[in-house]
Amino acid sequence: MASWVVSECSLRPFTAVKIHHKPRPSLPSNTINAFKFKPLPCSSFKVPTLWSKGRNLGGLGLLNVSAPLKVTITSEEDKGKEESAIDGVNNGEFDPGAAPPFKLSDIKAAIPKHCWVKDPWRSMSYVVRDVVVVFGLAAVAAYFNNWFVWPLYWIAQGTMFWALFVLGHDCGHGSFSNNPALNSVAGHLLHSSILVPYHGWRISHRTHHQNHGHVENDESWHPLSEKIYKSLDNATRLLRFTLPFPMLAYPIYLWSRSPGKKGSHFHPDSDLFVPNERKDIITSTACWTAMVGLLAYLSFTMGPMPLLKLYGIPYAIFVMWLDLVTYLHHHGHDEKLPWYRGKEWSYLRGGLTTLDRDYGWINNIHHDIGTHVIHHLFPQIPHYHLIEATEAAKPVLGKYYREPKKSGPLPFYLLGILIKSMRKDHYVSDIGDVVYY
């Protein structure tokens, strides 16, 4: 994963095209001579794309695309304006869709070396902490067993299920430890316990990181094109854009993915996976099935209602947390976020469209997953180093880093942002390489 990240896009020269400009007879010659038109050589970009079964989904491999012709103006004042636009500032205003003046390697160089160190003992200590809290909460709720305690338990336990998911998420990225076997065992135990197929999710989430910010190739909460949006039936539109339904979408996504995509996280022959990942998918699906069997057994032995109160409702709260956090890390900023296609997309530019969020007291509980920009660019950094790495990278990122709004003890302010975004952010244009909702 780390080697893929550092590679970004490769460039090779493209044959320059000579363009001859004929001045109009009606224009004075001195007006024509005030400008010098210089045809620029085009560049051939190799764009990393999502691959499935040995080929990318578009079936085109690596696409060769040429850069647009630029007109160079000779006056010093206009040269200054052109240079500012390259740095993301045009006419004094920041353009979030402009290519940044820094490279991925510049950001990496700014992050202290110890932030990349993975400590398996420290990672396991978080697992022990969270598991103890989960069982402790269940024991307290079962002991008191009254309707004053149960709602408090559901919220707290659902949040802890989400914390378990985040630790399994670290296992999937390899930021939990340098030991693949430990990552796999811990990831299966953590994710299977909350009904997530570990390898199926791990691979689709890798696809999300490799294509973040790309209209078609992104995997999680990517925008619908206008054509797909208008083809949806009313029921699908209602479920996708009317709260609370989108906040319960994750189990459906695991089975059938998003509109416009097909496949299942449970099926080894799904378009999500390549043939050599077949055994991994069978393994994670078997673990998920074993957890379903355990829950069915508990339902018979202790009764369906106690199981619903102890596990079922907290699971629903966990799904809401997952959908809320993942959605708001890519949507809902006061200034619209760009989405990319074709030659305009790159790993760096796509990663810079993600957002950090502040969750108040929940930051520590869910392992600082709100520190999302640096995580998206460098997912191999352990969660306990993300805050320090972000602070070190801010001077390099400049205006491309969007400082999150500070939360109170509980992040209730995020509900307003979510409602506003769900009302407005429905689709992007079918055409254009830099688009906005």
Task: With respect to residue 101, please indicate whether it lies within any of the assigned structural domains.
Answer: no
Residue 143 has what pLDDT?
96
Residue 257 has what pLDDT?
84
Q: Which of 24-28, 391-395, 405-409 has the lowest mean pLDDT?
A: 24-28
* Mean pLDDT over each residue of the chain, to the nearest integer: 83
Residue 185 has what pLDDT?
98
Tell me the longest C-alpha to C-alpha distance in the chain.
94
pLDDT grade, residue 58 (50/70/90)? very low
What's the CA gap between 136 and 128, in Å, rounded? 12
Instruction: Name the residue with tokens 């930021």.
Output: 175
Whether this prediction's pTM lies above 0.75 is answered by: yes
Residue 48 has what pLDDT?
40
Better-predicted residue by pLDDT, 34 or 65: 34
Q: Which residues have CB under 8 Å from 219's CB, separation 6+?
A: 50, 204, 205, 207, 208, 211, 258, 261
- Could you tell me how many residues make up the chain? 437
Domain count for the chain:
1
The whole-number average pLDDT for the span 269-275 is 91
92-143 residue pLDDT tens: 688 999 999 999 999 999 999 999 999 999 999 999 999 999 999 999 999 9
* Angle at the Cα of 256 from the Cα atoms of 251 and 261, rounded to 5 degrees: 130
Tokens of 79: 């040269």
pLDDT grade, residue 63 (50/70/90)? very low
Task: With respect to residue 161, please indicate whether it lies within any of the assigned structural domains.
Answer: yes
Task: With respect to residue 52, please indicate whether it lies within any of the assigned structural domains.
Answer: no
Structural domain containing residue 134: 116-436
Task: With respect to residue 54, please indicate whether it lies within any of the assigned structural domains.
Answer: no
* Angle at the Cα of 377 from the Cα atoms of 288 and 120, rounded to 5 degrees: 55
Task: With respect to residue 167, please indicate whether it lies within any of the assigned structural domains.
Answer: yes
What's the CA gap between 242 and 414, in Å, rounded? 16
- CA distances, 28 to each of 31, 37, 71, 246 (Å): 5, 17, 20, 62
360-380 residue pLDDT tens: 999 999 999 999 999 999 999
Q: What is the dihedral of CA 109, 349, 336, 405, to 10 degrees?
A: -20
Q: Which of 76-85, 178-187, 296-305 has the lowest mean pLDDT?
A: 76-85
Task: With respect to residue 294, please indicate whether it lies within any of the assigned structural domains.
Answer: yes
Q: Which of 192-201, 310-319, 326-335 has the lowest mean pLDDT?
A: 326-335
H helices of 303-356, in order, are 304-307, 313-328, 347-351
Half-sphere exposure (Cβ direction) of 54: Cα atoms closer than 13 Å: 2
pLDDT grade, residue 261 (50/70/90)? confident
Q: Is the pLDDT of residue 323 over 90?
A: yes
What's the CA gap between 280 and 184, in Å, rounded? 10
Residue 169 has what pLDDT?
97
Q: Is 96 in a helix, a strand, or coil?
A: coil
pLDDT grade, residue 89 (50/70/90)? low
Task: With respect to residue 62, please indicate whether it lies within any of the assigned structural domains.
Answer: no
The whole-number average pLDDT for the span 307-315 is 98
Number of helices and strands in the chain (H, E): 19, 10
Q: Is the pLDDT of residue 312 over 90?
A: yes
The whole-number average pLDDT for the span 2-25 is 40
Task: With respect to residue 93, please indicate whether it lies within any of the assigned structural domains.
Answer: no
Spatial contact of 366 and 166, defined as CB atoms under 8 Å apart? yes
Helix or strand (DSSP H, E) at 82 = helix 76-86
